[in-house]
Amino acid sequence: GLQLTQRKSVGDIVGYHNDGFVKWIGGFGQVEYNNGRVSTFFNLSGSNSGYRRHDYFKKKDLVLSDTTFTEVLGTSVTTEIEYDNAGNIIGAHKTMDIDTFEYNGQQYTMYSDESRDAITDWEWIKGFTIKTGANYNIDELNNVFFNVGYISKAPKFNNVFDYSNQLFRDIQNERVKAVEGGYSYRSRFLSANLNAYHTSWINKPSNGGVTIEVDEVPYKANINGMNALHQGIEMDFAYKLSNKLTFEGLVSLGNWKWTSSDTVRFYDDNNNPVIDDFGDAVIATFDAEGVHVGDAAQTQYGISVRYEPTSNSYFKVRGTYFDNYYSDFDPLSLNGENAGRESWKIPAYQLIDLHAGYKISITPKNKLDIKFSVLNLLNEIYISDAQNNDPYNANYQDFDAKSAGVFFGLGRRFNVSAKINF
C-alpha cells in the first residue's frame, strides 16, 4: 500500500505493485462437410475481452455518492533544507505528510471510508475470427489440404493500460490474414506432413508500447502501424523401423520480417499533443522494414527416437536445434543511421530431452499412467530470450551482445506425473 516512511524493511514491496484483471467471453460455431474423399469446414467465433488495472502504489481514489476523484489521497514528501549562519546548505530533512482533499466542505484522507485503491474502469474490446479450409484424399495414402483465415485479435493487457493506470490512446486490434497449404502421406511404416504458410500481421504493436521523455516526464504510445510478414515451410515425419522402434523428425524454416516504417505522435493524459520547447509536436519515427521479427527462433530442426520394449512402456530421446533467433527491440531505436538495422541474433543452441512412461493395470477398465521426463538432459547453458539495446544498460546501444539484456534458459530439470484413467 501507500508508504508512511521512505525507510524500507525486509519483506517490503518496492518499485511497483499492481495487478491486471482480464475477463473474456466468447462463442464458437462450425459447420463441416465430408463425402469420404473431400472434407471442408467453415467456422466463425467472436469474443469480448475486458481489462482492468489495480495499482496499490498509486494515490487512492475518493469515491463519493455523486462523483469519483482518481488518485487524490495518499502521502507527499516535504523536504526542509537546513542552512548555517552563512547561508550554506548543511543538511536536509524529509517528512511524509498525509494528503488532505476537501470537497463540499468535507475533508478526506487515505484513511477515510470513501477511499479505495487506484482501480480503473473496465475496458471492453471485441474480436472475431473467420476460418475455412478443405482436404482432398487423393487415395488411401495421400492427401492435400489448405486453410485460410482472418483474425481480429484484442490487444495484450500491456497495450491497453500503461504503468500509470492510463488507457493507451487509439487502441486498435491486431489483424491477421493467413493462408496455408500442405500435403500428407500415411502408410503402414511412414507418416509425413509438409506444409507452407503465408501470414500477414497487421498492427502488431510492441509489447507495452514505446516511451519517450520530455523535460523528464515520460510519455507512452502504441504503434498501430507495425506490420509483419511471416512465411515458411514445415515438415514432420515418423518412420516405424520395427514394432518397437520409431524414428521421428521435424524441420521448420521461417522467414519473418517487419514490413513497415511509421511516425508516432505522443499525447498527454488530456489527449493533447505533447509539445517540445520550440512549440512543435513531439513525434518519433522508426523504420523496421526488412528487419527480422524477434522473440522466437525462426529455424528449428528436431529428431527423436522412441522405443517401446513392451506394449505398456516407452522411452523417447528428443533433440531440438534452434537458430535464427533475433532479440526483441524497441522500434524507436530504428531511426537515422540505425534505420532498418537488424537486432542482435541470439547464439544457436540445442536441447536434448528424455521421456519415459509406464502404464499399470489396476482393474480391467482402470489404468495408472506414470510419466517421467528429464528436460535439458545435458544441462545446456543457453540464452532463451533477449532484448536488443536493453534500456537498463543505457551506456551501450550497439545492437550487439554487449548491449543486450538476456534471460538464460532453465537448466536440467525433472518432471514426474501420474494419471488414473477411469
In a domain, 80, yes or no: yes
Q: Is residue 324 part of a domain?
A: yes
My answer on whether 161 and 94 are in the same domain is no
**SS3 of residue 104 by DSSP:** coil
Q: How far apart are CA 322 and CA 106, in angstroms?
A: 64
Of 18-32, 55-69, 152-166, 201-215, which range is least confident? Answer: 201-215
The rounded radius of gyration (Å) of the Cα atoms in the chain is: 29
Residues 112 and 211 in one domain: no
Residues 138-189 have pLDDT tens digits of 999 999 999 999 999 999 998 899 888 888 877 889 999 999 999 999 999 9
Q: Which of 134, 132, 256, 153 has the alpha carbon at shortest distance from 203?
A: 153
What domain count does the chain have?
2
Cβ atoms 38, 135 nearer than 8 A: yes
My answer on whether 49 and 64 are in the same domain is: no
Q: Would you give the end-to-end CA distance of the chain in angstroms?
A: 48
Of 116, 136, 151, the one marking the end of a domain is 116
What is the mean pLDDT of the segment spanning 123-132?
Answer: 97
Query: 64 lies in a domain?
Result: yes
**Do 137 and 68 belong to one domain?**
no
The answer to whether residues 134 and 156 belong to one domain is yes
- My answer on whether 130 and 267 are in the same domain is yes
Looking at the chain, the whole-number percentage of residues with pLDDT higher than 90 is: 63
Residues 219 and 146 grouped into a single domain: yes
Say which DSSP state 5 is in: -
Asked whether residue 297 is assigned to any structural domain, the reply reads yes
Same domain for 100 and 176?
A: no
Residue 362 located in a structural domain: no
pLDDT tens-place string over residues 290-348: 999 998 999 999 999 999 999 999 999 999 999 999 999 888 788 888 888 999 999 99
Residues 257 and 129 in one domain: yes
Q: What is the pLDDT, as a whole number, of residue 177?
A: 98
| CATH number, residue 326 | 2.40.170.20
Do 222 and 189 fall into the same domain?
yes
Q: Give a yes or no: residue 370 inside a domain.
A: no
CB count within 10 Å of CB 224 equals 21
Which band of pLDDT confidence, cut at 50, 70 and 90, is reported for residue 12? confident
Same domain, 70 and 204: no
- Give the Å distances, CA to CA, from 345 to 286, 323, 351, 368, 392: 20, 9, 18, 45, 19
Q: What pLDDT digit, counting tens, does each position of 223-248 carry? A: 777 899 999 999 999 999 999 999 99
Residue where a domain stops, chosen among 116, 136, 157? 116
User: Are residue 179 and residue 323 in the same domain, yes or no?
Assistant: yes
Q: Which domain holds residue 103?
A: 59-116
Does the residue 319 lie in any domain? Answer: yes
Instruction: Report CA-CA distances (Å) from 270 to 13, 22, 212.
Output: 31, 25, 17
Say if residues 385 and 405 touch (Cβ distance below 8 Å).
no
Single out the residue in 79, 99, 116 at which a domain terminates: 116
pLDDT (tens digit per residue) in 34-89: 998 999 999 999 999 999 999 998 999 999 999 999 999 998 888 888 888 888 88
- Asked whether residue 357 is assigned to any structural domain, the reply reads no
Q: Determine the pLDDT at residue 395.
A: 74
Task: Decide: 230 and 254 in contact? Cβ < 8 Å.
Answer: yes
Give the pLDDT confidence score for residue 84 in this predicted structure.
86
